[in-house]
Structure 1
């Protein structure tokens, strides 16, 4: 009898081990419409590519139209703002390629939108975005202005920044043709039905009161945008509520972990450190992410803000575990990007590594909206 029990237990353990190592098999539960995956090239402009993809899905939802918007029009109009912030703060601010979703919304509100056919940010003969030289030149310029070698800063520096942007990216369009009609950036914005004030930023960190707004102190928040702070469970439920009701979600996250892989197309948080590499190819138990653990990992710099992406759906693996379908902007080369350029985030990864989300205010559950004072 005792021997039979041991044999049975041994078989159960073996079955558990096999089950825990099964290769991923995903089934789509929700798959909202999005424009094709494209590459941000050699630029740090994921914030514009992902947020623009998010707006493209919003245009589909609002109008039924699929429009290829210009990511670089927003980038082109945001660089002077970054330069002004850096120079006026005498170099005590961030000046880099990075940004956040609200930078796109701010640009849309002030400068409108244009299709990619009106402004690609590529000059004649170019097929690939590469801002390495542009950024080096701009950084050198703004640092020179902060050093103020002339002892009195002239107003010419702003024209100089604009001139460099025009040389490297092209001149901003004032009007353009689209589907047989003439538009300005503002009239084209009206066509899309996008209202930038309809979108809200939500995060979850315990160092600030919940259900209030605060400025999230991360390096790429150079424009000092504010976020609604909610408990972690409610941030995750907001993502779910949005997707279940036909709204996609913009995501700011950390992809520096060894368990994020665009090549494998998954992002997970294994319970055991020993399974970090193996968990990219097969199912292993994951950590339970609490509010406190999330906070600790943020405050010790293990979780950082380094990439923005676009959540367009929900999947489940063969065990019924939930994953999020997340659109990346690194292209579709199958040797480097699985799933056609999408990465499937486990809920554990999302709970730990999602810095913030941006959604249409109508995607927020009424109970939470009431707590936020809407």
Structure 2
């Protein structure tokens, strides 16, 4: 997932893939303040229908790691659903391991995959399966004198290393290049925590994942919806940050929201990936919807009042969704965590979304996103297989 450049958001250059990490979250958040209203919160009345327990909102800082923050938040809620005491998991431990695996893929592919800080939800699950997990307090990733992530220098150094390695100046790769790469990761993020003490007991990342976190990585699946692929089969999601070439299940557009609804009603949360750079997505106001009038056709007054209370929405179709993806209007910008359902004063339903950009917006780090926006702008969701509606699970042959 990454934030790609669009004319209205020229400052928001990065989130999940090949980008200049120095801009990262700070410039993205600043750019998204452009489409905001000071009166928005007073114009909406949200009533919670479902609000599933989740851990406090985090701030990913200047790093393209929302995929790790949102997926780890999802796993934390899975711990609570399973009756376990929540532990803030190290988002940077997941990212560090994914960066090493991505580097190996980059070299294996002679540089023909995306670099950068971006990733996918399955990267967190795959790293959990291979490397385990650690508490955030054990591995903060802040090994260079800052109080929040700031990855620009590290990313530039790592990318330069890999570009040189792929050029193969010795004429034959040495077996030590990945050790050198890992050493740079350790220098910036901290030494790999092969053993650590937590709550008075010694763990490895593997034993901590098994004994404390206790989730099964095989329980989780990713779903998407594109009419160019057969429904109820798997396909490789063709976005730059799917460097692992993992597959997702293809379902119909309405089945995305039906799955989310079923999950929430049964106590499961959902990890959401999609596009957040539209003018009708406001981080500051914490609202995202699909207006029934094109933004460029709106009057100045209509634009100014876009987030001042509920508005009529377009009805999103499969064709709209496919076209937006094909023409780059929908890109793999961001990852967040769906933790509940709410209604506005007119009865329209919105998903309650937990973000990882701190607590400075109108709803202290949370957002309200309509179902039409989710249908239109989702690139993939991750959910526990048990949360998928029975009829759909049968079609997918779980």
User: Do both proteins adopt the same fold according to a TM-score greater than 0.5, normalized to the shorter chain?
Assistant: yes
Contact kept, 8 Å, 2:144 with 2:188, in 1: the verdict is no
Bigger shift: residues 63-72 or 206-215 = 63-72
Measure, in 1, the Cα distance between the counterparts of 2:186 and 2:194.
Answer: 14
Question: Secondary structure of the residue that 1:326 maps to in structure 2?
Answer: strand
Is residue 2:383 matched to residue 1:362? no
Q: What's the counterpart of residue 14 of structure 1?
A: none
Q: What's the counterpart of residue 9 of structure 2?
A: none
Q: What's the counterpart of residue 196 of structure 2?
A: 176
Is residue 2:266 matched to residue 1:239? no
Question: Secondary structure of the residue that 1:83 maps to in structure 2?
Answer: helix
Q: What's the counterpart of residue 330 of structure 1?
A: 357
Is residue 2:253 matched to residue 1:253? no
Contact kept, 8 Å, 1:212 with 1:229, in 2: the verdict is yes
Deviations 1:75-115 (A, max 9, x none): 11111111111111111111111000000000000000110
Question: Secondary structure of the residue that 2:43 maps to in structure 1?
Answer: coil
Q: What's the counterpart of residue 33 of structure 1?
A: 53
Measure, in 2, the Cα distance between the counterparts of 1:294 and 1:24.
Answer: 27
Contact kept, 8 Å, 2:144 with 2:189, in 1: the verdict is no
Q: What's the counterpart of residue 75 of structure 2?
A: 55
Measure, in 1, the Cα distance between the counterparts of 2:209 and 2:158.
Answer: 29
Question: Number of matched residues?
Answer: 350
Is residue 2:366 matched to residue 1:342? yes
Long gaps (5+) in structure 1:
1-21
> Please, which of 248, 265, 268 is the counterpart of residue 286 of structure 2?
265
Q: What's the counterpart of residue 250 of structure 2?
A: 229
Bigger shift: residues 82-91 or 105-114 = 82-91
Measure, in 2, the Cα distance between the counterparts of 1:317 and 1:327.
Answer: 18
How far residue 124 of structure 1 moved from its aligned partner, in angstroms, is 6.5
Contact kept, 8 Å, 1:267 with 1:344, in 2: the verdict is yes
- CA gap 1:106/1:218 in 2 versus in 1, 3 angstroms: same
Q: Within 5 A, what are the aligned runs for 1:1-374? A: 23-123=43-143, 125-190=145-210, 191-272=212-293, 273=295, 274=298, 275-333=302-360, 337-374=361-398
- CA gap 1:276/1:210 in 2 versus in 1, 3 angstroms: farther
Q: What's the counterpart of residue 10 of structure 1?
A: none
How far residue 33 of structure 1 moved from its aligned partner, in angstroms, is 0.5
Measure, in 2, the Cα distance between the counterparts of 1:293 and 1:164.
Answer: 44
Long gaps (5+) in structure 2:
1-41
Contact kept, 8 Å, 1:268 with 1:280, in 2: the verdict is no
Deviations 1:284-322 (A, max 9, x none): 211100111111111111111110000000010000000
Q: Which runs of 4+ in 1 moved over 6 A?
A: none
- CA gap 1:119/1:296 in 2 versus in 1, 3 angstroms: same
Contact kept, 8 Å, 2:225 with 2:252, in 1: the verdict is yes
Measure, in 2, the Cα distance between the counterparts of 1:102 and 1:197.
Answer: 11
How far residue 276 of structure 1 moved from its aligned partner, in angstroms, is 4.7
Q: What's the counterpart of residue 13 of structure 1?
A: none
Bigger shift: residues 174-183 or 66-75 = 174-183
Contact kept, 8 Å, 1:63 with 1:192, in 2: the verdict is no
Deviations 1:13-43 (A, max 9, x none): xxxxxxxxx9211111100011000100000
Measure, in 1, the Cα distance between the counterparts of 2:77 and 2:100.
Answer: 28
Question: Secondary structure of the residue that 1:325 maps to in structure 2?
Answer: strand
Measure, in 1, the Cα distance between the counterparts of 2:108 and 2:362.
Answer: 44
Q: TM (normalized to structure 2)?
A: 0.86
Question: Secondary structure of the residue that 2:364 maps to in structure 1?
Answer: helix
How far residue 249 of structure 1 moved from its aligned partner, in angstroms, is 0.1
Contact kept, 8 Å, 1:270 with 1:276, in 2: the verdict is no
Contact kept, 8 Å, 2:143 with 2:190, in 1: the verdict is yes
Larger Rg: 1
Q: TM (normalized to structure 1)?
A: 0.91
How far residue 232 of structure 1 moved from its aligned partner, in angstroms, is 0.6
